[in-house]
Amino acid sequence: MTTTLENPVADKIQAAVLPTIVLDFDSTFTQVEALDILAEQLFSSDPARLTDITAIKDLTDLAMSGEISFAEALQRRVQILKPTKADLEGLVETLKGLVSASVARNKEAFLRHPGKFRIISGGFHDFIAPVVAEYGIRPEHILANRLVFGDDGIAVSVDQGNPLSKDGGKVVALQGWDITGPVVMVGDGWTDFEVYKGGAADRFYAFVENVKREKVVQATHGIEAAQVVVSFDEVLHNEGFEGRYSFPRSRLKVLLLENVHPTAIQAFREEGYDVTTVKGALDEDDLIDAIQGVHILGIRSKTTVTQKVLDAADKLLAVGAFCIGTNQIDLKGCSKKGIAVFNAPYSNTRSVVEMVMGLTVILTRNIYDKSIQMHTGKWDKSATGAHEVRNKTIGIIGYGAIGSQLSILAEAFGMRVIYYDVAEKLTLGNARRYRSLDALLAEVDVLSIHVDGRAENKNLMGAAQFAKMKDGALFINLSRGHVVDIDALAQALKSGKIYGAAVDVFPEEPRTNDDPFVSPLTGIKNLILTPHIGGSTEEAQEAIGEFASERLLNFLNRGDTTFSVNMPNVQLSEVEGRHRFLHIHQNVPGVMAAINNIIAKYNLNILAQHLKTNESLGYVIVDVDRGYSKEALEELKAVTGTLKFRSLT
């Protein structure tokens, strides 16, 4: 199956006759209404004038949505604001930092096509010109009002001779401009729609990236030449401009489940992707419904990505596990479909380790049960059964990222560290590796499990293993629930074989905070139960949000697969001034030769080429210079064994 990212609208438009794009300034070129920002700047530190900030905003809104006359609103706002030239300089600096995200990321397109982008605004040339100059828009390509200053340097009114100071002014002003060829108007406000309605523009885009004005959006309905767009990427794409992106990001859907951290949501939105979030996990049926049309799925540990879900995933390019574990994802199924899987292997490691150390001390001192007794009014000041952790032996099963970090912290607490791992590991500090699990079990005062969630680890700790431990040892599991036979653990605790335990992960876990927790472990003495929160610190969640979204964005934006858990890892630079083909295929003979034949047939000039394979997948990345035909793309997609094909610009 191939992923087809087509653009029929752009195909219809001759690239040679690029239209002139006329942008509104307030809430379109910039994220904000400049006069609202000016009001905040001038009045927010003066309690007596705070109401003027609201008054300015109200006037702006009423005019933008077409409720009152634009001319009246403009004049009244200037009368309230009375700015000086110095005030406007401050405003310019603020506005430069508030350029709309999709405009800012397409700066290259502005600079590459001087004269093709113009500004029309009911705002003021005085502050618009220096902001848009950075995008190569010259003063003569800005139509805007001018402030009239009094002798004291304070603006008192609007230049009345300028048509833009009047109602319907944009239509008149634009019609009088020296534009040849089609004109495309992009704006959020009613006056922008009027430009199209009044016949001064051939096409209209209602721009809703910053603010959605219902009256304007409604007005576009049923008009073939008018469209609502959530980002400037779409405008560039539809109008045949070579923006940074071969496919508008706003049409790529990102579905983030299980309350992933807002940093991730923001990262995708800032890059222009269409993000939907869901608080909890989804069960299989709900996920099957939700996954259709989704390009990127973000989950944590509670969502299971099964083969059935993958079968329903018609557009899925990648799955991000916003956690360490990936055992909830059918990795083989993903590979078979060329879907890349990423996780955040180190972002919550420290949080888990700190929690294990804390639990070790709490259990060794018997603090947990003492606290419970206190809550029932019982004061038991006694040292019996309470110990230091110093000189005790901690046994770690699974000496990976978490196990080895724990080794360092435990040693810093004065503990003796021994570990068991099925793989060769670098032993840290004075830790000792045991090659026999049974030998380790027999020696530990505290046992902590940190193996990964592979299926073979089911019931790694069962009745036989608990029986091999010293009487009165402590047990901790913050890895995966199925690794421990919990009936056997319950029995070992009840019999006193295991003196105390802390369990954070369970074979069956509630999907959301509203679902009940049911387990044979509830009600047992000296057993600390926690709701799978080993990695749940604000620090870890933020770090995971940043790390996982960065991996997914690098994959989307440039094809980079660094840290992917199932794809061959290829580190790639940004796509600058070139086209990049990304070809994911079954690892079968002949694919590379077929790709190269097509490249030779179409005489494409290769700037860089990479091929990396793993057991099941091959990943070819080809960078070519700008000239290539659609037929070449079609043939590349049709190569036998192709799973996914994308092109980036």
Ligand X SMILES: O=C(O)CC[C@@H](O)C(=O)O
Ligand Y SMILES: NC(=O)c1ccc[n+]([C@@H]2O[C@H](COP(=O)([O-])OP(=O)(O)OC[C@H]3O[C@@H](n4cnc5c(N)ncnc54)[C@H](O)[C@@H]3O)[C@@H](O)[C@H]2O)c1
Cα–Cα distance measured from residue 353 to residue 478, given in angstroms and rounded to the nearest whole number: 9
Map residues 347-386 to x or -, x wherever contact with ligand X holds by CB under 6 A: -x--------------------------------------
324 is a site residue for ligand X (CB under 6 A): yes
For 203, the 3-state DSSP assignment is strand
**What Cα–Cα distance (Å) separates residue 123 from each residue in 26, 129, 207?**
7, 11, 17
Shortest Cβ distance from residue 323 to ligand X (Å)?
3
Q: From the list 90, 163, 198, 325, which residue makes contact with ligand Y (rule: CB under 6 A)?
A: 325
Residues binding ligand X: number (CB under 6 A): 7
Q: Which stretch binds ligand Y (CB under 6 A): 128-136, 253-261, 452-460, 640-648?
A: 452-460
Cα–Cα distance measured from residue 639 to residue 585, given in angstroms and rounded to the nearest whole number: 9
Map residues 178-197 to x or -, x wherever contact with ligand Y holds by CB under 6 A: --------------------
Query: Angle at the Cα of 440 (from 437 to 445), degrees rounded to 5?
Result: 140
Cα–Cα distance measured from residue 79 to residue 68, given in angstroms and rounded to the nearest whole number: 17
647 is a site residue for ligand X (CB under 6 A): no
Shortest Cβ distance from residue 457 to ligand X (Å)?
14
3-state percent helix, strand, coil for the chain, nearest multiple of 5:
40, 20, 40
CB-nearer residue toward ligand Y: 398 or 500:
398
36 is a site residue for ligand Y (CB under 6 A): no
Contacts for 210 with CB less than 8 Å, ≥ 6 apart? 27, 28, 31, 32, 100, 188
Q: Is 411 a catalytic residue?
A: no
Q: From the list 423, 426, 455, 593, which residue makes contact with ligand Y (rule: CB under 6 A)?
A: 423
504 is a site residue for ligand Y (CB under 6 A): yes
Task: Name which of ligand X, ligand Y, none residue 402 binds, using a CB cut-off of 5 to 8 Å depending on partner kind.
Answer: ligand Y
Cα–Cα distance measured from residue 397 to residue 460, given in angstroms and rounded to the nearest whole number: 10
Q: Which positions from 510 through 549 interact with ligand Y, judged by CB under 6 A?
A: 532, 534-535
420 is a site residue for ligand Y (CB under 6 A): yes
Task: Name which of ligand X, ligand Y, none residue 244 binds, using a CB cut-off of 5 to 8 Å depending on partner kind.
Answer: none
CB-nearer residue toward ligand Y: 338 or 453:
453
Catalytic residue among 450, 532, 558, 585: 532
Q: From the list 169, 338, 453, 481, which residue makes contact with ligand Y (rule: CB under 6 A)?
A: 453
Question: Under a CB-based contact definition with an 8 Å cutoff, are residues 396 and 357 in contact?
Answer: no
Task: Name which of ligand Y, ligand X, none residue 446 binds, using a CB cut-off of 5 to 8 Å depending on partner kind.
Answer: none
Shortest Cβ distance from residue 528 to ligand X (Å)?
17
Task: Name which of ligand X, ligand Y, none residue 300 binds, using a CB cut-off of 5 to 8 Å depending on partner kind.
Answer: ligand X
Tokens, residue 568: 């061959």
Residues binding ligand Y: number (CB under 6 A): 32
Q: Which positions from 394 through 453 interact with ligand X, judged by CB under 6 A?
A: none
Write the Ramachandran bin of 377: left for phi over 0, alpha for psi from -120 to 50, otherwise beta: left
261 is a site residue for ligand Y (CB under 6 A): no
DSSP state, residue 392: -
CB-nearer residue toward ligand Y: 401 or 639:
401
Cα–Cα distance measured from residue 424 to residue 57, given in angstroms and rounded to the nearest whole number: 65
Catalytic residue among 480, 551, 580, 583: 480
For 457, the 3-state DSSP assignment is helix
Selection from 334, 326, 281, 327 nearest residue 309 by Cα: 334
301 is a site residue for ligand X (CB under 6 A): yes
Question: Under a CB-based contact definition with an 8 Å cutoff, are residues 601 and 629 in contact?
Answer: no
Shortest Cβ distance from residue 250 to ligand Y (Å)?
34
Q: Is 509 a catalytic residue?
A: yes
Cα torsion 500, 506, 512, 516: sign: negative
Q: From the list 19, 169, 320, 535, which residue makes contact with ligand X (rule: CB under 6 A)?
A: 535
> Could you tell me the end-to-end alpha-carbon distance of the chain, in angstroms, rounded to an integer?
22
Shortest Cβ distance from residue 326 to ligand X (Å)?
8
Question: Under a CB-based contact definition with an 8 Å cutoff, are residues 214 and 237 in contact?
Answer: no
Q: Which stretch binds ligand X (CB under 6 A): 65-73, 220-228, 323-331, 492-500?
A: 323-331
325 is a site residue for ligand X (CB under 6 A): yes
Tokens, residue 441: 């079990």
Q: Which stretch binds ligand Y (CB under 6 A): 133-141, 280-288, 346-354, 468-476?
A: 346-354
Question: Under a CB-based contact definition with an 8 Å cutoff, are residues 106 and 233 in contact?
Answer: yes
Q: From the list 252, 316, 324, 572, which residue makes contact with ligand Y (rule: CB under 6 A)?
A: 324
Cα–Cα distance measured from residue 323 to residue 439, given in angstroms and rounded to the nearest whole number: 32
Cα–Cα distance measured from residue 533 to residue 536, given in angstroms and rounded to the nearest whole number: 5
Q: Which stretch binds ligand X (CB under 6 A): 309-317, 318-326, 492-500, 601-609?
A: 318-326
Query: Angle at the Cα of 385 (from 384 to 389), degrees rounded to 5?
Result: 125
Q: From the list 125, 300, 450, 637, which residue makes contact with ligand X (rule: CB under 6 A)?
A: 300
Selection from 196, 199, 249 nearest residue 227 by Cα: 196
CB-nearer residue toward ligand Y: 166 or 450:
450
CB-nearer residue toward ligand X: 237 or 450:
450
Q: Is 482 a catalytic residue?
A: no
- Other CB atoms within a 10 A radius of the CB of residue 607 amount to 13
Question: Under a CB-based contact definition with an 8 Å cutoff, are residues 219 and 193 in contact?
Answer: yes
478 is a site residue for ligand Y (CB under 6 A): yes
568 is a site residue for ligand Y (CB under 6 A): no
**What Cα–Cα distance (Å) separates residue 526 from each residue in 117, 370, 503?**
70, 9, 11
479 is a site residue for ligand Y (CB under 6 A): yes
Which residue's Cβ has the minimum distance to ligand Y?
400
DSSP string covering 147-175: EEE-TTSBEEEE-TTSGGGSTTHHHHHHH
264 is a site residue for ligand X (CB under 6 A): no
Q: Which residues are catalytic?
A: 480, 509, 532
Residues that bind ligand Y (CB under 6 A): 324-325, 345, 348-349, 352, 397-403, 420-423, 425, 450-453, 457, 460, 478-480, 504-505, 532, 534-535
Residues that bind ligand X (CB under 6 A): 300-301, 323-325, 348, 535
